[in-house]
Chain A
Amino acid sequence: MDHLIKIISKPDNIPIVLMLGLTVFYTWFSMRKARRNDLQDISEEAKLSDKVQVWPYLVKVEFLAALLIMAILTIWSVGLDAPLEQPANPALTPNPSKAPWYFLGLQEILVYFDPWIAGVVLPTLIIVGLCAIPYIDINPKGNGYYTFKERPFAILTFMFGFLVLWVSLIVLGTFFRGPGWNIFMPWQEWDTHLVVALTNIDWSEWLPFHQPTRLVDGTLNPYAMLIGSVTVIGWYSLGVIYYFWKRKSDLMQKLGILRYSIVAFLFLTMMAVPVKVLLRIAFNIKYILVTPWFNI
């Protein structure tokens, strides 16, 4: 319990507690609004569509918000000092070494993916994918009011990405990862000497296949590479199969092949993250595909 209080009240961890509280609150708050709008013919926002003068009706709100935020920030800053540890020493690596809290989700993904995916490709795809949203979401409904019923796929996908893959992984990385990047419950003391035996195997070595990644002479097993490639290609061809299944549908016609391909690629890449996490946790699977140049 002492450790729980220590880790939650660590100055740099306060924002994460704040973020967790705010995201949970706003998710509930917005979905309650969405439900209320979905149950009636006209949205609450549309009922407030008359015009008011900015001075004082909007400026007043802005002024009060500014006062409130400045009060909170001042009290926070008077009460809690920003951390300043020992001077920088490149020869002394702390254990655990953690990135700033907002990157801890990505650092957590490093357990399951090689750095080129977790540290470079996935962050790039997050940014590119976010930028692409307005151009691939062609649903004209739900613009300017809260709703769930009119755009369930968009909202569920975004919430999965934001709440599960971003916020929860930050919380996991902050409160559950200790020395050696091992999992510790937040109330557990950190044991710096804990060694967890890793018995990871690759996808091709797993029960149904039994193909070692490397042959006895150390070269890569072509059958293992084949199994890996087929799996990766198979995963993305789910998008192709879905396309041919739904090709005639209204939505697919409107979306067009290019938009659909981008949606399918981004969606399948996003979903590959939890799938790989589960494979690792449930079956100790390390790599799906091992090649001389990169591993997936």
Chain B
Amino acid sequence: MIGLIDQMKEKMRRTDVYKSIFRHSYEDTQRNRALQIVDNVFLHLHPVRVTRHATNVGFTWGMGGITFLLFIVLTITGVILMFYYRPAAEYAYDDMKFLMNDVAFGPLMRNMHRWGAHAMVITVMLHMFRVFLTGSYKAPRQFNWVIGVILLTLTLFLSFTGYLLPWDQLAIWAVTVGTNMARATPLLGHEGPFGPELGMKINNDVRFVLLGGTQVGPPTLLRFYVLHCIFLPLVATILMVVHFWRVRKDGGISGPDTTTKKF
């Protein structure tokens, strides 16, 4: 029986279909291990070989990778949530209630989205903390740190714009408090230094542009929805591509320069 299965497996591996999909044999050889990485579109982000300390969780804390994983989880759960949610003031809250009470796995999807988002804010901060402590922003990785800072800001904006969407008391007041700051923007806010002198009023300053009104209302909901679901994830994705590519081009994650004497 087992002999038969082995025979069938062997036969399957020799078919054109199998070979066209996997391209290399399955034996545990150095060559196959390398091909496993370079022949796979998802894994080929990695080099074939890395220094041993780069695989040490005590060194990396794994926070960058976890942040990326959470971003993927948030994208998937977010798309599912979009099927059940309409970003209009008269529907939004009812859609949330429907999702939480009547949709199969609705609460699980929403909870994973919210807790994943909170976790991502934490992991992205810890990632920055680790990168700072190991001095990994130093040459040649200076600009990648700057991209990382922008990604951190985008993560906060993503979380903040998503905070409004449930359209409950928690949401609108947290966003009201957060966006009230924009009133006081120097030059561009109607309560900021030199704002009134430059003709800023409550209905034409930077906060008005952000909210689409003089207070958090239905236009704000639509604006934040579009920012949250389309604009910010798109920008973040592009910057992540650059971020990862630069990590790779700068020789993988940082490590001591063992070519000099003292390290």
Q: Which residues of A contact B (CB under 8 A)?
A: 12, 14-15, 18-19, 22-23, 26, 29-30, 33-34, 41-46, 48-59, 61-62, 65-66, 69-70, 73-74, 76-78, 80-90, 92-94, 97-103, 106-107, 114-116, 118-121, 127, 130-131, 133-135, 137, 139-147, 151, 154-155, 158, 162, 166, 293-294
Contacts and interface: CB of A to CB of B under 8 A. Distances in A.
B184 A116 contact: yes
Contacts of A90: 172, 215-217
B205 to A, nearest CB: 12
Contacts of A92: 169
B51 A65 contact: no
Contact of B112 (A29, A74, A141, A142): A74
B19 interface: no
Given A84-B100, A100-B178, A158-B132, 14 more contacts: A43-B256, A49-B52, A51-B51, A61-B55, A70-B73, A81-B100, A82-B114, A116-B189, A120-B181, A120-B184, A120-B185, A131-B149, A142-B134, A151-B135
Nearest to A27: B129
Given A48-B53, A119-B184, A76 B65 contact: no
Interface in B37-73: 37, 43, 46-59, 61-62, 65-66, 69-70, 73
Interface bracket on B:
35 or more
A58 B55 contact: yes
Contact of A49 (B51, B111, B159): B51
B194 A293 contact: yes
Interface in B200-253: 215-217
A65 B118 CA distance: 18
Interface string B104-143: 0001101111111011011001101110111111110111
A102 B171 CA distance: 14
Contacts, number: 286
B156 A82 contact: no
B153 interface: yes
Contacts of A293: 193-194, 197
B175 to A, nearest CB: 8
Contact of A58 (B46, B70, B189): B46
Contact of B263 (A80, A120, A145): A145
Contacts of A144: 134-136, 254-257
B65 A65 contact: yes
Contact of A102 (B89, B159, B217): B159
A115 B186 contact: no
22 contacts: A15-B122, A18-B119, A33-B58, A45-B53, A54-B47, A55-B36, A57-B55, A59-B46, A66-B69, A81-B111, A82-B115, A85-B168, A87-B169, A97-B173, A100-B174, A130-B128, A130-B149, A134-B139, A139-B138, A140-B138, A142-B138, A144-B135
Given A97-B174, A134-B137, A115 B115 contact: no
Contact of A22 (B47, B55, B126, B255): B126
Q: Which of A51, A56, A106, A120 has the most CB of B within 10 A?
A: A120
